[in-house]
């Protein structure tokens, strides 16, 4: 028999606690790893009678897996995968107004690395699950909980490794929720759009490599690797990729146009995006493929022409545009430069339809009568790519009702990352309702 409980009771405290555990991911074997955070998550679950397992792809790179199927669930329904990652990108404390691993509450917000990416959602999940477990309030269906390592470096030691080596942890799962979606975009006092991520761009991290002839810097030289590479990098970096609107983006833009009562002109999309404030950067990046130079490596002395030079490119491609992306890169870099793929993740997408989507709308609306869900395409990547590879429909649904003036997109990997405490409590209440309907 269930009793009354408050799903948001611990969410602020848990978010602070997780932020204070430094899980910085430097994209290599260096760094603290996720072990301490994973042990704490496992302990929090164990306190309410939920057994979990710690799985490591490498020492200290730890993921937590738990099956929650208490008495009262409908075991005939496939388990819902609820996933979050424990690692965060590094933070330079000198750049921050508040120490990035302090988890301090200042001006009504929890500050710290991971506050929005994504220890906020981890805390929401734990607060809700712990409250329900204590009260004997079973969810509608079985729940698989996975808190992963290494998402910030492409999930090689986290979700991708779990799919390859421990596929049984998601056995039977057909649907999943995680980052990045469910946050509010205020149109007016009585209307807020809540974008639900239904698709992600693919990722192609490339190295451009130019090979020339080494020589003395004082001589004429027509086979300079740096010259060839620089020209190729400039062409890639300045290329204007053709606009292509996917189905999720079209639905999102149409909803924005209707909400703000503006015309949707395919040739004037910037005018529509201008109504979105800071989120326009996120949406604008999904209107085409992108390729941005991010690192250069060449030479070792002023008077020595090196025999080779290299550049790093962060490439992202829309669903259905992967072949076009690589062909364009090959044309841009020319014959004197070649590319190699360092990391690759495919684009993914699912339909914005079905009972799970209806539950998202209903649960948001119950806490915010002005809520309206809309699909959107995410410009980055999440663990959803790994789960999608084994046939799981993935949605970005980490609900937050945000202040209209908060630069939420700027919080991701940004300085002074923070999340309002009342937004966290709102999210916990929505998620609690969702577990009854999902």
Q: Tell me where in the chain the CATH 3.30.70.360 domain(s) lie.
A: 202-242+288-345
- The pLDDT confidence band at residue 122, using thresholds 50, 70 and 90, is very high
Per-residue pLDDT for 2 more than 70? Answer: no
Confidence of residue 29 (pLDDT cuts 50, 70, 90): confident
- Confirm if 283 and 252 have CB atoms less than 8 A apart: yes
What percent of the chain is predicted at pLDDT more than 70?
96
Q: What is the pLDDT of residues 177-235, one digit of tens each?
A: 999 999 998 988 999 999 999 999 999 999 999 998 998 888 888 889 999 999 999 99
Q: What does the pLDDT read at residue 408?
A: 85
Tokens of 311: 């550049």
Q: Pick the residue with more confidence: 344 or 387?
A: 387
| CATH 3.40.630.10 residue ranges for the chain | 11-198+347-437
Residue 261, pLDDT score? 80
Query: Which pLDDT band, with edges at 50, 70 and 90, does 391 fall under?
Result: very high
Fold that domain 11-198+347-437 belongs to in CATH: Aminopeptidase (3.40.630)
pLDDT band per the 50, 70, 90 thresholds, residue 279: low
Q: Going by C-beta distance under 8 Å and a sequence separation of 6 or more, which residues neighbour residue 370?
A: 189, 190, 191, 192
pLDDT (0 to 100) of residue 1: 47
* C-alpha separations of 102 from 41, 86, 356 in Å: 18, 16, 36
Q: Around Cβ 404, how many Cβ atoms within 10 Å?
A: 12
CATH tag, 202-242+288-345 = 3.30.70.360
């Amino acid at each position: 028999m269930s009793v009354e409980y408050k799903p948001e009771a611990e969410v602020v405290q848990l978010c602070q606690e997780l932020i204070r555990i430094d899980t910085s991911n430097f994209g290599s074997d260096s760094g603290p790893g996720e072990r301490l955070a994973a042990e704490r998550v496992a302990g929090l679950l164990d306190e309410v009678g939920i057994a979990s397992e710690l799985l490591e792809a490498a020492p200290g790179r730890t993921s937590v897996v738990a099956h929650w199927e208490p008495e009262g669930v409908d075991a005939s329904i496939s388990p819902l995968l609820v996933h979050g990652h424990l690692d965060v990108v590094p933070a330079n404390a000198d750049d921050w107004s508040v120490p990035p691993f302090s988890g301090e509450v200042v001006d009504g917000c929890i500050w710290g690395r991971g506050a929005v990416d994504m220890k906020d959602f981890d805390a929401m999940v734990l607060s809700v699950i712990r409250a329900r477990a204590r009260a004997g309030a079973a969810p509608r269906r079985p729940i698989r909980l996975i808190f992963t390592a290494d998402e910030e470096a492409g999930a090689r030691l986290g979700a991708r490794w779990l799919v390859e080596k421990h596929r049984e942890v998601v056995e039977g799962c057909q649907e999943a929720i995680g980052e990045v979606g469910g946050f509010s975009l205020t149109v007016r006092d009585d209307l807020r759009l809540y974008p639900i991520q239904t698709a992600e761009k693919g990722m192609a991290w490339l190295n451009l490599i130019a090979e020339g002839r080494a020589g003395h810097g004082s001589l004429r030289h027509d086979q300079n690797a740096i010259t060839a590479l620089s020209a190729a990098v400039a062409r890639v970096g300045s290329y204007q990729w053709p606009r292509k609107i996917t189905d999720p983006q079209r639905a999102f833009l149409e909803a924005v146009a209707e909400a703000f009562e503006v015309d949707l002109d395919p040739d004037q999309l910037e005018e529509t995006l201008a109504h979105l404030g800071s989120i326009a950067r996120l949406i604008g990046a999904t209107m085409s493929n992108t390729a941005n130079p991010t690192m250069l490596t060449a030479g070792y002395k002023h008077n020595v022409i090196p025999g080779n030079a290299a550049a790093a490119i962060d490439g992202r491609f829309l669903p259905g545009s992967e072949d076009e992306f690589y062909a364009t890169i090959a044309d841009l870099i020319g014959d004197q430069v070649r590319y190699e793929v360092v990391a690759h993740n495919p684009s993914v997408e699912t339909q914005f339809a079905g009972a799970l989507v209806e539950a998202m709308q209903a649960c948001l609306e119950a806490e915010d009568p002005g809520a309206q869900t809309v699909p959107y395409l995410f410009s980055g990547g999440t663990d959803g790519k790994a789960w999608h590879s084994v046939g799981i429909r993935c949605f970005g649904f980490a609900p937050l009702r945000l202040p209209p003036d908060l630069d939420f997109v700027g919080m991701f990997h940004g300085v002074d990352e923070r999340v309002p405490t009342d937004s966290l409590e709102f999210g916990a209440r929505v998620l609690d309702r969702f577990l009854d309907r999902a």
